Structure 1
Amino acid sequence: MIRRTRWPLLAALCLFALPVAAQNFPDRPVRLVVPYTAGGATDVGARVLAEALAQVLPQPVLVENRVGGAGMVAAEYVVRAPADGHTILFNNTSHAVLRKVVPNAAVDPIRQLSTVSILSEMPMVMLVSNDFPARDGRAFMEAVRAAPGRYDYGSTGGGGTLGMAAMLFLRSTGLQMNEIPYRGGAPATLDLAAGRIALVYDIALTGLQTHKSNQARAFAVTSPERSAAAPEVPTWREIGVDAEMVVWQAIFVPVATPAPIKAALHAAVARVQAGEALRRKWAELGVDRVLAMPPEESDRYVLRDVERWEALMSR
């Protein structure tokens, strides 16, 4: 069951207290910039949000895919955009490792972007090819352990949630597999369904759809508890993986964006996130927690995750 919070109601009430300039926001189309390819999990989440926001904002909300640099291309584009709330980055937990993956970037996405709101939390899904002979997660790990370096997994690199989950999985189990790089989750899943690779970790948004459509088998979710969207799928810990990972989605704006504009954006997010229709849609897509966390709390949340993942990647 999706947990409710106090944030949507409080943020929606704040809308009435905003300065006049913020109440007139936006005055032109809003661009929601996505770091990954169309059709992948991050893109799907962005389009769900964009469609909902377009119903409550006076201007269209357009999704724009800017792929490259492990997500840094999109982040740098938003950092350099006017700080007026009309250009927004939509990203997930992969944002937390950008500085590690692209250490010499021209911008610092953590210091130069401000979090408007954490939108959701969900697990990653361990997807195994239908052609792989193992019938469950433990048997899969036994087969991989017996043949180190024989099997391949799909990844968007260390800067994407697919790569982050795979890294945590392999480090926690000591297994050896070959990384096959992809530009997004969608092409990796296509190769998994075709049997060209053995394993992909995908965000529940799209991973559970892959499982339910029988394109691949879900052997585990990475969250501490089973997902309400697929209660038959065990957790990592249940199959013997001593780790956990929760993926969040969030929106970011340039750090110089005025607080009233961020508050107006947050109020719009809170309004749509509180709607029953959208909450049901998120639940169907595998989201365990629908949120509308306020800006300051969201910034603290992201910084905690940055510290965690940067420490993991420094080992």
Structure 2
Amino acid sequence: MTRLPLRLAAAALGLLALPALARTAHAQAPAFPDRPVRLVVPYTAGGATDVGARVLAEALARVLPQPVLVENRVGGAGMVAAEFVIRAPADGHTILFNNTSHAVLRAVVPNASVDPIRQLSPVAILSEMPMVMLVSNGFPAADGRGFIAEVRAHPGKYDFGSTGGGGTLGMAALLFQRTTGLSMNEIPYRGGAPATLDLAAGRIGLVFDIALTGLQTARGGQARAFAVTGPARSPAAPEVPTWREIGVEAEMVVWQAIFVAATTPAPLQVALHAAVARVQQDEALRRKWTELGVDRVLALPPAEAAAYVQRDVERWEGLMASAPKP
């Protein structure tokens, strides 16, 4: 019976490290995947996280013997999706696709019945990208420095769209306001897509969006890109200055990652990471990620991914704990 995990890995992914898998397999496991895989997204369809999930799902479906389906489970600042994955069978068939917002989930929902940091394990960090500072076409400023000057001269006059403290839109806005001292009104949305629609219509003045969709919004003429939040200009939009170039002394990089329940057997996590690493090496997919605003295409394995996520948890939980309470 101990040969079954070897067939699991070899049949599904053609792994090279079969002896290592054999040493870690202590119990009988079914073939993986033996039914459709669910990629669970905490946000609405059409938003940046959803777009990233669908790009990955399409690529994985080409190398796995089962379909990969994207499922949107919105609510609780992402806790609804996290809890769903935690409570699903720990067999690798139910996967959470999330981004940096995962790092603040405990802080935003402190009394949840689950702990998403302890009860979910990152299988792979997929990408790094900046946020894009999108400003409505009708806002009375021509660039980022002009935007800051206008808002500083009229505190409380202008609105920005946010998915709350638990979303990257809200995280970027929090860091922006803490760094600049600007006063703007937060307008809550259930996802980046509806916030961007209101920005394009001129109902709000500012949205921070993941480059994955933010650059598309700017290129489509729906808004203007005044800055990116990364440490350097994005290769996908070298004409857009960084935050520091417009006078914001901060930076923010957004990562995307996949998670499974922490009790998922190690061989299944290794097998799933191998599938991700395989598709992430494809040049066509790498070009697609770059075109969508990704600065770094990654496939960090579980141990490195866990350390990476923990560093961001410590950073963002600390920032949120020190933020002024309303």
**d(CA) in 2 for partners of 1:274 and 1:12?**
15
Q: Is the 8 A contact 2:40 2:94 kept in 1?
A: yes
2:136 to 129, 137, 143: 129
Contact 1:79 1:112 in 2 (8 A): yes
Partners of 2:311 and 2:15 lie apart in 1 by 28
Q: Percent identity over the alignment?
A: 81
Q: Which runs of 5+ in 1 are unaligned?
A: 1-10
Of 127, 144, 148, the residue aligned with 1:120 is 127
Partner of 1:68: 75
Deviation at 1:24, TM superposition (A): 3.0
Superposed CA deviations along residues 138-175 of structure 1, whole A, max 9, x for unmatched, are 00000000000000000000000000000000000000
Q: CA shift at 1:101, angstroms?
A: 0.3
TM-score normalized with structure 2 length: 0.91
Structure 1 residues 27 and 193, CA gap change in structure 2 (3 angstroms): same
Structure 1 vs Structure 2 CA RMSD: 1.4
Q: Which residue of 2 aligns with 1:296?
A: 303
Matched, 1:111 2:142: no
Matches within 5 A, 1:214-293: 214-293=221-300
> More relative contact order in 1 or in 2 (CA 8 Å, sep 6+)?
1
Q: Distance in 2 between matches of 1:135 and 1:227?
A: 20
Query: Partner amino acid for 2:312?
Result: D
Where does residue 190 of structure 1 map in the other structure? 197
Following the alignment from structure 1 to structure 2, what is the Cα–Cα distance between the partners of residues 290 and 16?
26
2:210 corresponding residue in structure 1 = 203
Equivalent residue letter for 2:152: R
Match of 2:109 among 96, 102, 109: 102
State the match for 2:5 in structure 1: none
Whether the aligned pair in 2 keeps the contact of 1:23 and 1:264 (CA below 8 Å) is: no
Cα separation, 2, equivalents of 1:33 and 1:57: 17
- TM-score, length-normalised on structure 1? 0.95
Given that 2:15 and 2:271 are in contact with CA atoms closer than 8 Å, whether structure 1 keeps it comes out as no
Q: In 2, Cα distance between the equivalents of 1:167 and 1:68?
A: 20
Distance 2:219 2:86 in 1: 38
Contact 2:126 2:297 in 1 (8 A): yes
**Distance in 2 between the 1:23 and 1:119 partners?**
26
Cα deviation, residue 133, structure 1 = 1.5
In the alignment, which residue of structure 2 is the partner of 1:53?
A: 60
Q: Deviations over 1:265-313 (max 9, x none)?
A: 0000000000001001000000000000010110010000000000000
Which protein is bigger by CA-based radius of gyration? Answer: 2
1:3 maps to which residue? none
Aligned pair count? 305
1:175 aligns with 2:182: yes
Q: Equivalent of 1:81, from 65, 88, 102?
A: 88
CA distance in structure 1 between the aligned counterparts of 2:277 and 2:30, rounded to whole angstroms: 15
Contact 1:85 1:262 in 2 (8 A): yes
Q: Which amino acid aligns with 2:308?
A: Y
CA distance in 1: counterparts of 2:313 and 2:61, whole angstroms: 31
Q: Deviations over 1:169-213 (max 9, x none)?
A: 000000000000000000000000000000000000000000111
- Structure 1 outlier segments of 4+, above 6 Å: 20-23
Q: Which runs of 5+ in 2 are unaligned?
A: 1-12
The residue number in structure 2 matching 1:93 is: 100
Residues 53, 181 of structure 1: CA spacing in aligned structure 2 closer, same or farther, 3 A cutoff? Answer: same
